[in-house]
Amino acid sequence: MRAESQWSESRHDTVAAYYEEKTERILRRYGPGPRVHFHVGLVDDVPPPGEPEARVRERVNASQEVLLAELARAMGPLPEECELLDVGCGLGGGALYWASKHQARVTAVTNVGLHVELVRTFAEIEGVGARVKSVHCDALAVPGRACFDAVVAVETCSYLPRAEWFRRVRGLLRPGGVVAIADCFLGRPELAAPFDRYWRTCIGTRDEYLSAAHAAGLELEVCDDVSGRAVGFWSLTLELLAHERFAPTGQLPARILARGESRREHLRLQQALLDGGLEYSLLVLRRED
C-alpha cells in the first residue's frame, strides 16, 4: 500500500480546487441536469461516429446511469427507507439517482463548497429535495456511528487514504450494511504516475483495496470486472470532444490546450482498459457484525 502521507492537507485542498475549477466544464459536457454525472459509464454497443452532439450526450448520460444500475444490482435489495451515504457526490447525479430510483434517504458529501447548493437545487428540480441532504465535509470526517445502511463511492476512493477511510466506513455502517465501490484500479505500476497526475488521484490495485477493507472488518461479497463495458464510454467522450473541437471559436487558448490534453488522456485510459494496464471494477463489501 502506498504511504498514507501522500494524502496531505494540501493535497486535499488541491483536489477541491481542481473540481471547483472544472464545474463549468462538467456542466457543459455532462449537463444540463438535474442528474449530472461525472464518472465512467457502461456501454455495450458503441454507435458509429458522426451522431449529433445532443444524441451523444444522451448516450453518455444513459451509460452513466447503467453503471449505477449495475452497482445497485451488485448491492442487492436496499432496506426500506435506506439511509445511504454518497461519498464524493460531485454535482449530485448519483445522490439523485439513489433517492429517486431506490427511495433512499441520501447524505451527499462533497469537498467542494460550490457544489453544495448546486446539488440542493438539482434535488429540488428532480423532486427529491426532502430525500437528499448535501453536505460540505471531508469524507474522513463524516459524523455519526452505525447510522447508514449503505455507503456508495463512485470514483472517490482513489482520492482517499484507503486504510483510514475503510475504518471510518465500518464505523458509519450499521451491522449488515454494505459499501459499494465503482473505481479504476491499477494493473501495471508504470501507469500510476500519468494517471495520478492527470486525474489528481492516488490510484491503487484491487488487492490493495481488498486488503485494507478486510483489515477494517469488511468482507468482500461482489467483485465484478466491467472493464470491457467501460471501454465504450471513452469512445463516446472522444466523440463529444470532437464535437467540442468544431464548436464556435473564441475560447481561451488554455481551454483549447486542455481539450487536447483531455483527448490524449481519454485515449490513454481507453487503451489501458483494453490491454489490462487498468481495470474498472465494482466492489461490494459488507460489515458483518
pLDDT confidence of residue 141: 95
Q: What is the pTM of this model?
A: 0.92
The angle that helices 113-126 and 9-30 make with each other, rounded to 10 degrees, is 40
pLDDT band with cut points at 50, 70 and 90 for residue 103: very high
d(CA 232, CA 67): 12
Nearest residue to 200 via CA among 58, 2, 40, 11: 11
Q: What is the mean pLDDT of residues 255-275?
A: 82
Q: What is the mean pLDDT of residues 5-21?
A: 72
Of 121 and 6, the one with more pLDDT = 121
Q: Is the per-residue pLDDT at 28 higher than 50?
A: yes
d(CA 109, CA 175): 22
Q: What is the mean pLDDT of residues 173-179?
A: 98
Residue 16 phi/psi, 5-degree rounding, is -60, -45
The angle that helices 93-102 and 53-75 make with each other, rounded to 10 degrees, is 60
Amino acid at 283: L
| Each residue's pLDDT tens digit, 205-240 | 999 999 999 999 999 999 999 999 999 999 999 999
Q: Look at 111-125, 173-187, 241-255 and tell me which has the smallest mean pLDDT.
A: 241-255
Q: What is the mean pLDDT of residues 191-213?
A: 96
pLDDT band with cut points at 50, 70 and 90 for residue 25: confident
- Which H or E element spans position 266? helix 253-275
Q: What is the mean pLDDT of the chain?
A: 91
Contact predicate 35/61, CB 8 Å:
yes
d(CA 101, CA 152): 15
Q: What is the mean pLDDT of residues 71-86?
A: 97
Handedness of CA 35, 39, 45, 50 (dihedral sign): positive
Q: Is the per-residue pLDDT at 251 higher than 90?
A: no
Nearest residue to 7 via CA among 161, 168, 131: 161
Omega before residue 49 within 30° of 0, cis: no
pLDDT confidence of residue 248: 55
Of 2 and 58, the one with more pLDDT = 58
d(CA 157, CA 133): 21
pLDDT confidence of residue 258: 57
pLDDT confidence of residue 245: 76
Q: Is the per-residue pLDDT at 249 higher than 80?
A: no
Q: What is the mean pLDDT of residues 93-117?
A: 97
For the chain, percent of residues with pLDDT exceeding 90: 79
Q: Which three cell numbers stand for residue 60?
A: 453518455
Amino acid at 276: G
pLDDT confidence of residue 253: 47
pLDDT confidence of residue 244: 82
Of 164 and 12, the one with more pLDDT = 164
Q: Look at 129-143, 172-186, 259-273 and tell me which has the smallest mean pLDDT.
A: 259-273
pLDDT confidence of residue 18: 84
Handedness of CA 187, 189, 191, 195 (dihedral sign): positive
* CA 63 from centroid of its chain's CA atoms: 13
Q: Is 186 exposed, middle or buried (0-12, 13-18, 19+ CB in 10 A)?
A: buried
